Amino acid sequence: MDSKQQTVRLNDGHFIPILGFGTYASQEVPKSKATEATKIAIDAGFRHIDSAFMYKNEKEVGLAIRSKIADGTVKREDIFYTSKVWCTFHRPELVRVCLEQSLKQLQLDYVDLYLIHFPMAMKDENGKFIYDAVDICDTWEAMEKCKDAGLAKSIGVSNFNRRQLEKILNKPGLKYKPVCNQVECHPYLNQGKLLDFCRSKDIVLVAYSALGSHREKTWVDQSSPVLLDDPVLGSIAKKYKRTPALIALRYQLQRGVVVLAKSFTEKRIKENMQVFEFQLTSEDMKVLDGLNKNIRYISGSSFKDHPDFPFSDEY
Ligand code: NAP
Ligand code: WDT
């Protein structure tokens, strides 16, 4: 398997592999599965790995990365690792604390990319999350300090709407622009407008739930349609002798979106690497664009009353 993965240049000069491995799994999945799957992913050729403080798996993912370094499969600099600061660490003095906790779990000395996971500050009051008032620009300045300290090579955001991105881009004295905005993106929510905006600012859009999400009950309305069961995706898959999952991944790469794919199943982890083996015609890309229907699987509706809830704006 070709280990040199295709990358795209970020606005700070670093490069991000355009296909990433998602590692989030529900509480019921044994944490050791993350180690097993991440090792398989690296062996299969994935070089970009996405996790977060909130996923509670960084110890296990770090173990997999370090074991693939130890056995000579990769070097640290071949791996692009993303982590994210959780909402309860938005206070500027806590951002680095969260990153250092991640690094300690990982047993790594830097992350390639550090993201603000979600644009809403919260605080933990006796085990219950309540809203906290922290200016996102103050959180961003603490992110810039993490980059200057070398703990994160690049910094970016996740789940930001246009207004929230502009708030950071317009911050007086901005030192570093976010390199990316990681958001839900797939043929049913193709984020065309946010993608155009990000492009105009040299911000990479990174797609999560690109296969239609994990559909976990905590986060996803179980009555929503299953993306990979879509008949149009199915017929295009048939035409290329691939799978609906591969069509959904390829769609993102051809529109310049960096795409994450989560699987803890060896066969599907390997299958997802085939995204580099074929090309969709511009006609089929147009057909896929036509599937857009504003279905947000991870809608976060329980947070909708927070003043910084991102998904009330059109985009
Ligand atoms: P996803 O990538 O949309 O994948 C969803 C499901 O598809 C997985 O449960 C997987 O099941 C299955 N699958 C994978 N490859 C397949 C294939 N070739 N054919 C058929 N089914 C396939 O999942 P996601 O977890 O929602 O998103 C991906 C990653 O994005 C996450 O793991 C996380 O790293 C990140 N994420 C970030 C945020 C954020 O707020 N920033 C939110 C959500 C997700 P199996 O494991 O059983 O194969
Ligand atoms: C919308 C609502 C977007 C799940 C909540 C994001 C939830 C982050 C995952 C995640 C949120 C959240 N995940 O990987 O499945 O920040 O709570 O990364 S969330």
What is the pLDDT, as a whole number, of residue 129? 83
Q: Closest ligand 2 atom to the C-alpha of 298?
A: 1
Local confidence band at 222 (pLDDT 50, 70, 90 cut-offs): very high
Q: Pick from 117, 105, 104: which is nearest to 182 by CA?
A: 117
pLDDT, tens digit, for every residue of 134-190? Answer: 999 999 999 999 999 999 999 999 999 999 999 999 999 999 999 999 999 999 999
pLDDT, tens digit, for every residue of 19-63? Answer: 999 999 999 999 999 999 999 999 999 999 999 999 999 999 999
Q: Closest ligand 1 atom to the C-alpha of 265?
A: 48
What is the pLDDT, as a whole number, of residue 1? 44
Q: Look at ligand 1, atom 12, and give the residue with the nearest C-alpha.
A: 263
Phi, psi angle pair for 260, to nearest 5°: -100, 145
303 vs 315: CA distance, rounded Å: 17
pTM: 0.98
222 vs 62: CA distance, rounded Å: 32
For the chain, what is the mean pLDDT?
A: 97
Contact (CB, 8 A) for 110 and 82: no
Contact (CB, 8 A) for 107 and 60: no
Ligand with the closest atom to the CA of 296: 2
Catalytic residue numbers, as ranges? 55
Pocket-testing residue among 51, 87, 157, 208, ligand 1, by greatest number of atoms within 8 A of Cβ: 208
Contact (CB, 8 A) for 165 and 197: yes
**pLDDT above 50: residue 108:** yes
Per-residue exposure over 294-308, b if at least 16 CB sit within 10 Å of its own CB, e if not = ebbbbebeebeebeb
Ligand with the closest atom to the CA of 115: 1
Percentage with pLDDT > 70 across the chain = 99
Strand residues in 48-179 grouped as ranges (E): 48-50, 80-85, 111-116, 122-125, 128-131, 152-158
Tell me the CA–centroid distance for residue 75 and ligand 2, in Å: 30
Task: Please name the residue that has the structure tokens 């511009």.
Answer: 282
Contact (CB, 8 A) for 12 and 35: no
**pLDDT above 60: residue 86:** yes
pLDDT, tens digit, for every residue of 1-13? Answer: 444 689 999 999 9
**pLDDT above 90: residue 91:** yes
